[in-house]
């Protein structure tokens, strides 16, 4: 059985969080390999009743969690690269919409929020169609940014 | 003096850790081999990896398959470079070493703690219909190798009017796009010879023929859309009523990917508006190739198909025939085979060899399907598996570098590749291109 690591990331200061705990899940899966090989990444925010600062992003992959510091404006890919998170091959085309290795799966809540301000364009959707584990809440990590007023934009 | 002591002792440390390090051999420096290396070096920081490639230069299909107008796809090379640059004492490259011929697999099994097979699947399936040996009949794989500057490839003739491409996968699309949009290639890494031939091409009609229906294509959507976006050519899909019905049915029941792909086809059906340009690229389906007709100089003249819808034979004039009907499994000597003729695996990646820890990844493990993202994901999992079995209390495994020396096998190391790379970039820069690939390596190989 394949076991992949889990990674978690949290974001930087001054990011307003919703009242409820949000969970961002990023998952990678191998077509040819059984389910247990899934690499899941999820970013969990700090839960709170009041607006809070996000200072790191958690990526959960399988049973491992990796955390990276995020600056406002960073894409999820930037967070992984700048923090040298051990997700080798993530972002292989370096954010040029040519590879899909930066696929992430968001929670519905996150997805909906991002979708309002920064919906996936045709090119991103075309790339996502290559994602081994495409979900309704899939996005490309190189296209989503950590922004003020709602997390990933 | 103090500095010196420190330097010496750290050197000693590296050497001693290298001496006790597990040693892994990787056969193939394409995405499967190198993505696995990257993860493996993370998981087992002490391991030493020797990467072998039969080609004189690294990166497999990223250099010799991915189309020159897809430069962004090649950005993954930056990650591959990091492997060697960041681990100069641990990651070693041996290009121009053919495993099976120059070094036997058994020799790798004997001299390494684990062996990763990542040698791809580069042998094209041949089109075996009467007349297939006509001149200017070429496999998609050979056409791709030619425009990507693989050494010793033969240039096709593009001075006729009609090209027929058999096959409904991305290689067929890449070939069509190279023929129809050579204007976009000027600044890329396409070598100057193929660029010149493509720019002077007289071809003005491409027919892309699928053996099965439009709902069975294995194009990916980005590549399909690209063909319809070529502005100087009219590209369109020709469907008969029953084919249209089939496609619409498939669209209604398909998943999101299929729906989006089929919609692109439906948006580009043949119509007066779609056929305004004098140059045309036409997609036809349910055409089973029957035979190739030649002229008296043995050049292809036309291709006959069995039209499954009209239930009759049809003939297409043809000056260049490219067929891309898949790749064959390649099994290196000494590897186990399963009943389908592919590599015999015990699970997703462990090869059924009892005398050694042998793994497979990428196209050689599951056949030529999927794109780089699939290979990358598999690599992460395979690296994890290799990491789990690497022994910790080790006897030193020697590797095969002394064997290469004693056999006089002239390999190209990472350092040497770096100077080739630099030279190619410099030459490219002078021509206003990303790089000008070296096509003849004999002069380099005869230097020592
Ligand atoms: C024409 C074409 C275009 C493509 N375009 C794209 C694209 O735009 N985007 C995308 O994501 N994917 C693309 N792909 C798919 C992508 O190239 C593959 O997914 C990927 O290269 C598979 O990796 P691999 O390492 O298994 O094989 P390869 O890349 O083929 O690597 C295998 C390596 O092993 C070496 N080797 C073979 N035999 C031996 C031996 N006996 N001893 C030593 N070395 C050996 C070969 O020289 C080669 O370097 C394309 C594929 C093709 C064929
Ligand atoms: S990094 Fe390649 S598509 Fe996002």
Per-residue model confidence (pLDDT) at position A30 = 27
Task: Mark the binding-site residues of B for FAD, compressed into ranges.
Answer: 32, 61, 99, 363, 370-372
Per-residue model confidence (pLDDT) at position B422 = 98
Q: What's the mean pLDDT in B232-250? A: 97
Residues 6 or more apart whose Cβ sits within 8 Å of residue A95 = A75, A77, A102, A142, A143
* Nearest alpha-carbon partner for B228 in B176, B168, B297: B176
| Contact call for A30 and B370, based on CB within 8 A | no
Q: Is B100 left (phi over 0), alpha (psi -120 to 50) or beta?
A: left
Indicate if B51 and B196 belong to the same structural domain. no
Per-residue model confidence (pLDDT) at position A70 = 85
Indicate if B334 and B323 belong to the same structural domain. no
CA dist., res. B73 & res. B62, Å (int)? 8
End position of a domain, from candidates B293, B327, B361: B327
Indicate if B305 and B400 belong to the same structural domain. no
Indicate if B254 and B389 belong to the same structural domain. no
Shortest-distance atom of ligand 2 to CA A100 = 3
Provide the token pair at B67.
């189309």
Residue B33 CB less than 6 A away from ligand 1: yes
End position of a domain, from candidates B294, B327, B360: B327
The pLDDT tens digits for B90-139 are: 999 999 999 999 999 999 999 999 999 999 998 999 999 999 999 999 99
Indicate if B294 and B183 belong to the same structural domain. yes
B1 located within any domain: no
B6 located within any domain: no
CATH number of the domain bearing residue B431:
3.40.50.720
B146 located within any domain: yes
Residue B27 CB less than 6 A away from ligand 1: yes
Indicate if B319 and B372 belong to the same structural domain. no
Q: Candidates B38, B94, B119, B178: which one to mutate for ligand 1, based on the most atoms within 8 Å of Cβ? A: B119
CATH number of the domain bearing residue B209:
3.50.50.60
Judged by average pLDDT, the poorest of A106-110, A122-126, B206-210, B302-306 is: A106-110
Task: Mark the binding-site residues of B, compressed into ranges.
Answer: 32, 61, 99, 168-171, 211-212, 223, 363, 370-372
Closest residue of chain B to A62, computed from CA coordinates: B381
Indicate if B178 and B199 belong to the same structural domain. yes
Of B39, B73, B225, the CB nearest to A99: B73
What is the ipTM, given to two decimal places? 0.90
Q: Provide the whole-model pTM.
A: 0.89
Indicate if B129 and B185 belong to the same structural domain. yes
Indicate if B143 and B240 belong to the same structural domain. yes
End position of a domain, from candidates B308, B327, B346: B327
CA dist., res. B376 & res. B115, Å (int)? 18
pLDDT-above-90 percentage for chain B: 89
Whether the CB of A20 is below 8 Å from some CB of chain B: the reply is no
B3 located within any domain: no
Domain limits for position B251: 123-327
B175 located within any domain: yes
Residue B56 CB less than 6 A away from ligand 1: no
Indicate if B164 and B274 belong to the same structural domain. yes
The pLDDT tens digits for B256-273 are: 999 999 999 999 999 988
Of B42, B257, B378, the CB nearest to A129: B257
B10 located within any domain: no
**Chain B residues contacting A via beta carbons under 8 Å:** 35, 38-39, 42, 70, 72-73, 75-76, 78-79, 220-222, 225, 256-257, 260-261, 348-349, 365-366, 370-374, 376-382, 384-385
**Cβ < 6 A, ligand 2 pocket:** A 77, 91-93, 95, 97-102, 127, 140, 142
Q: Domain count of chain B?
A: 2
Question: What are the two backbone dihedrals, phi and then psi, of residue B312, each rounded to the nearest 5 degrees?
Answer: -155, 165
Q: Locate the DSSP E strands across B279-436.
A: 280-284, 287-294, 300-307, 312-317, 320-323, 327-328, 358-360
Indicate if B112 and B159 belong to the same structural domain. no
B4 located within any domain: no
Indicate if B155 and B112 belong to the same structural domain. no
Average confidence score pLDDT of chain B: 93
Per-10-residue mean pLDDT for chain A, 153 residues long?
28 24 31 29 37 63 82 89 90 96 88 91 96 91 76 49
Q: Candidates A102, A104, A123, A126: which one to mutate for ligand 2, based on the most atoms within 8 Å of Cβ? A: A102
The CA R_g of chain B, rounded to the nearest whole Å, is 24
Q: How many helices (H) and strands (E) does chain B have?
A: 16, 16
């Amino acid at each position: 059985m394949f076991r992949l690591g889990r990674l978690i990331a949290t974001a930087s200061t001054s990011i307003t969080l919703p009242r409820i705990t949000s969970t961002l899940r990023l998952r990678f899966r191998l077509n040819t390999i059984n389910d247990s090989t899934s690499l899941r990444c999820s970013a969990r925010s700090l839960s709170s009743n009041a607006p809070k600062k996000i200072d790191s992003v958690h990526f959960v992959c399988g049973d491992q969690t990796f955390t990276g510091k995020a600056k406002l404006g960073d894409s999820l890919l930037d967070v992984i690269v700048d923090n040298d998170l051990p997700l080798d091959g993530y972002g292989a085309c370096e954010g040029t919409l040519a590879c899909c290795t930066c696929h992430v799966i968001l929670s519905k809540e996150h997805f909906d929020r991002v979708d309002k301000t920064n919906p996936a364009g045709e090119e991103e959707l075309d790339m996502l169609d290559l994602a081994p584990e495409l979900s309704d809440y899939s996005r490309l990590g190189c296209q989503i940014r950590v922004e003020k007023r709602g997390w990933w934009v | 003096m103090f500095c010196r002591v420190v330097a010496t002792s750290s050197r000693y440390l590296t050497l001693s850790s290298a001496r006790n390090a597990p040693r892994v051999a990787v056969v193939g420096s394409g995405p499967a081999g190198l993505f696995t290396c990257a993860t493996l070096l993370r998981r087992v920081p002490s391991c030493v990896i020797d990467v072998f490639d039969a080609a004189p230069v690294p990166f497999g299909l990223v250099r010799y398959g991915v189309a020159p107008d897809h430069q962004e796809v090649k950005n993954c090379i930056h990650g591959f470079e990091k492997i060697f640059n960041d681990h100069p004492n641990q990651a070693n490259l041996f290009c121009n070493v053919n495993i099976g011929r120059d070094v036997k697999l058994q020799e790798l099994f004997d001299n390494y703690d684990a062996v990763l097979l990542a040698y791809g699947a580069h042998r094209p399936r041949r089109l075996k219909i009467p007349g297939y040996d006509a001149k200017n009949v070429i496999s998609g794989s050979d056409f791709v190798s030619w425009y990507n500057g693989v050494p010793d490839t033969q240039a096709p003739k593009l001075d006729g009017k009609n090209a027929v491409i058999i096959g409904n996968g991305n290689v067929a699309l890449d070939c069509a796009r190279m023929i129809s949009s050579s204007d976009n290639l000027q600044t890329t890494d396409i070598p100057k010879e193929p660029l010149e031939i493509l720019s002077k091409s007289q071809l003005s009609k491409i027919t892309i023929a699928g053996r099965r229906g439009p709902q069975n294509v294995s194009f990916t959507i980005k590549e399909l859309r690209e063909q319809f976006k070529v502005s100087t050519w009219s590209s369109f899909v020709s469907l008969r009523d029953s084919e249209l019905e089939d496609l619409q049915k498939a669209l209604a029941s398909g998943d999101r990917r299929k729906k989006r792909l089929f919609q692109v086809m439906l948006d580009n059906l043949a119509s007066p508006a779609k056929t305004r340009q004098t140059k045309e690229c036409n997609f036809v389906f349910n055409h089973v190739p029957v035979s190739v007709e030649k002229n008296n100089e043995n050049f292809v003249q036309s291709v006959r198909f069995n039209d499954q819808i009209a239930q009759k034979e049809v003939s297409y004039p043809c000056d260049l025939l490219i067929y891309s009907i898949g790749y064959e499994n390649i099994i290196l000597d000494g590897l186990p085979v399963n009943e389908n003729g592919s590599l015999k695996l015990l699970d997703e990646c462990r090869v059924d060899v009892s005398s050694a820890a042998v793994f497979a990844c990428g196209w050689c493990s599951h056949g030529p399907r999927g794109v780089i993202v699939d290979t990358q994901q598999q690599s992460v999992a395979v690296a994890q598996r290799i990491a789990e079995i690497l022994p910790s209390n080790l006897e030193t495994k020697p590797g095969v570098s002394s064997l290469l020396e004693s056999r006089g096998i002239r390999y190209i190391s990472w350092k040497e590749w770096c100077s080739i790379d630099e030279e190619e970039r410099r030459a490219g820069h002078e021509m206003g291109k990303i790089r000008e690939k070296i096509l003849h390596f004999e002069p380099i190989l005869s230097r020592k």
